[in-house]
Amino acid sequence: MDLAGKPAGGHAGHSHDPGELDFDEEDGHDHGSAGGHPYLPPGLSLALLLGGIALDYVKPGFFTGYVRLLWYAVAFLLVGWKVIRAAVLSIPSGNVFNEFLLMSIATLGAFAIGEYPEGVAVMLFYTVGELFQDAAVNRAKRSIQALLEIQATEVTVVRGGQPLVLEPSAVQVGDVMEVKPGEKVALDGTLNSQAASFNTAALTGESAPQTKQSGEAVLAGMINLESLIQVTVTAVFKDTKLSKILAMVQDAVGRKAKTQQFITKFARIYTPIVVGLAALLVLVPYFVVEDYVFRDWLYRALVFLVISCPCALVISIPLGYFGGIGAASKAGILFKGSNFLDVLREIDTVVMDKTGTLTQGVFAVQQVQPAPGTAPEQLLRLVGALETKSTHPIAKAVVTHVGTAAAGVPVESVEEIAGHGLRGRVDGREVLAGNTKLLTKFSVAYPPEVDQVVDSIVVAAVDGKYAGYLTVADAPKEDAARAVQELKADGISKVVMLSGDKDSIVQRVARELGISEAHGGLLPEDKARYVQQYLTEGRKLAFVGDGVNDAPVVALADVGIAMGGLGSDATIETADVVIQTDHPSKIATARRIARATHRVVWQNIWLAFGVKAVVLALGAGGVATMWEAVFADVGVALLAILNAVRIQRMDFASPQTPNAHRSLSADEV
């Protein structure tokens, strides 16, 4: 909470909205003066309070009247003047009934009836509670704020053969950056150097270095690990993925969950009600109590006001959600708002794209099946050499698999036959490489079982005779099967795969991953039709995708989840949750974080309501004193804050991960 008492436009009448937990240090939670030492005024106030209590016990002659009042007044003003100022400055903005007003009335009222030590104690402990809350907020912000620090503040660009040091915002697309070992990449680009290793932990949460080859994408925020490299810029500063990630995270802080919205509205209604009840607690007994003593009933009303302060609710709940967002960001999962933590917890259906989501999105040779009498090495050498003349993704996969085995092999008279494949002379021999239609076209017989192969296939013939085939497929990600298992174990009743790929391939991948329902050969509108059907059935649905064609379906789902590493910008911008590591198993991790956050938030709500209800009743009955009131307010707030901070310490690693150190799982909260 901010006790600076800023007028409208600042934080006057602080509501503790999560949007106020911003990243502007000048707009932070300043509790102190004394040259930026916030603990000094409370420390001096505590010393004066303890000294005053000791003098009250000894009862020296000088410590009476105005001397005693002045002593406690100084102790009070050291911690109370900012609260009183905040209460006054919040009046013009219309935010009259807030915790500042409650604490001001209660403590000044205590002074008015001569209860100086209790008035000081209430304000002192309230201020100490504020300091603890600030520390908790800063802790929750730290993991997110670390993202801001990975943006490079300057970049070396080579122009006209000369290196220039510029601000990232001044660099243009097409410029060539030089990145030294240990430096951060400032902008997205493609690697010009032959190869380079990068630390991507700040972006993805993964500790293992990534190696990039020439021509591969390099993202802002990666740290160059080894030698001087050059990178051609492909996106201006505001369009880098890192800039978009930071914008997402900062926007997320302002998007409230339903629980937060309810508590904020509740506090605005609740506070004026308790002020009215406190007034009635003073006035009504005058007419119904026979031995009415104004001072006694005023004291009860003041105790009632202190107890009723809603601090524990209005700070610990946003802090709980903020902690959930921070814990997710450390795991490489970006929630665009705390409301999506609640929605993700409630889903019962997960629909996923195949390519790039459950599979690697990169074609690779899966099987080499030479014809009898043909050596595998010979088949690969001839087909690989011929495929170097094609730019088709399947041809590139074959060339990558063959590697240097086809280097230097002479290739001539290459003819590309649209929809069929390639024909050419390789090392003096006529070679055909393509689909089965190519062999049929040139009257080359092949075994009938070749037509039963599910994967994409490259069939070859050498000198008019069938020579064998290679299958090319998009392999599942390492954690794809585990992701499906975890979702089912986590209570997801329906896991579906939708893909534009050939249905036979989709069904095979579904069987490998343990997905019971899968549909292939779909256009974007077909995917949207399936998702709309599930929503019409009353399901709470999350859709996970990465391609441009997934953006409409991502927007249609209750929660849209994008793969942020390889995913398209359109899908990432449309999504509600972004998985930076591209690991589908992080969907279950996000669910564990969402459930833990929800559990902690409601623990805080019941704790605050329960304790306050009991102590309010005791205060109204004259049993509870200001000291019990302090516990009911500040003590409960501190307990709630400590509970919320636990989210940052929880281990959300998969329970199925071998040898994983699990200090506390979401289900153990």
Residue 557 token pair? 């789902």
Three-state DSSP at 657 gives coil
The three-state DSSP-derived secondary structure of 213-233 is ECCCEECCCCEECCCCEEEEE
Q: Decide: 641 and 132 in contact? Cβ < 8 Å.
A: yes
Helical spans, DSSP H, in 149-222: 201-204
- Picking from 342, 348, 347, the residue whose alpha carbon sits closest to that of residue 261 is 342
What DSSP state is assigned to residue 516?
S
Can you tell me which residue has the tokens 């495929």?
Answer: 387
Q: Which two tokens stand for residue 77?
A: 């003003």
Integer Cα distance of 158 and 145 in angstroms:
31
Rounded CA-CA distance 388/374 in Å is 21
Residue 218 bridge partners (DSSP): 189
Residue type, 588: A
Residue 129 CB neighbour total at 10 angstroms: 23
Residues 183/184/187/192 CA torsion (nearest 10 deg): 50
**Residue 623: strand pairing partners:** none
What residues act catalytically? 353
Nearest to 133 by CA among 49, 38, 9: 38
Helix (H, G, I), strand (E, B) or coil at 158: strand
**Tokens found for residue 586:** 């992080």
Query: What are all long-range contacts of 663-667, with beta carbons under 8 Å and residues at least 24 apart?
Result: 665/592, 666/592, 666/593, 666/595, 666/596, 666/599, 667/592, 667/595
* Tokens describing residue 237: 């500063």
Cα–Cα distance measured from residue 210 to residue 194, given in angstroms and rounded to the nearest whole number = 14
Q: Whose CA is closest to 521, among 355, 367, 350, 351?
A: 355
DSSP β-bridge partners for residue 179: 229
In sequence order, what E strands does 481-633 have?
494-498, 517-519, 541-545, 559-563, 577-579
Amino acid at site 297: W
Distance of CA 382 to the CA centre of its chain: 49
What is the distance between the alpha carbons of residues 302 and 629, in angstroms, rounded to a whole number? Answer: 9
Is beta strand 210-213 parallel, antiparallel or unpaired with respect to 195-199? Answer: antiparallel
Block residue for tokens 């636990």:
646
Q: How far apart are CA 546 and CA 347, in angstroms?
A: 20
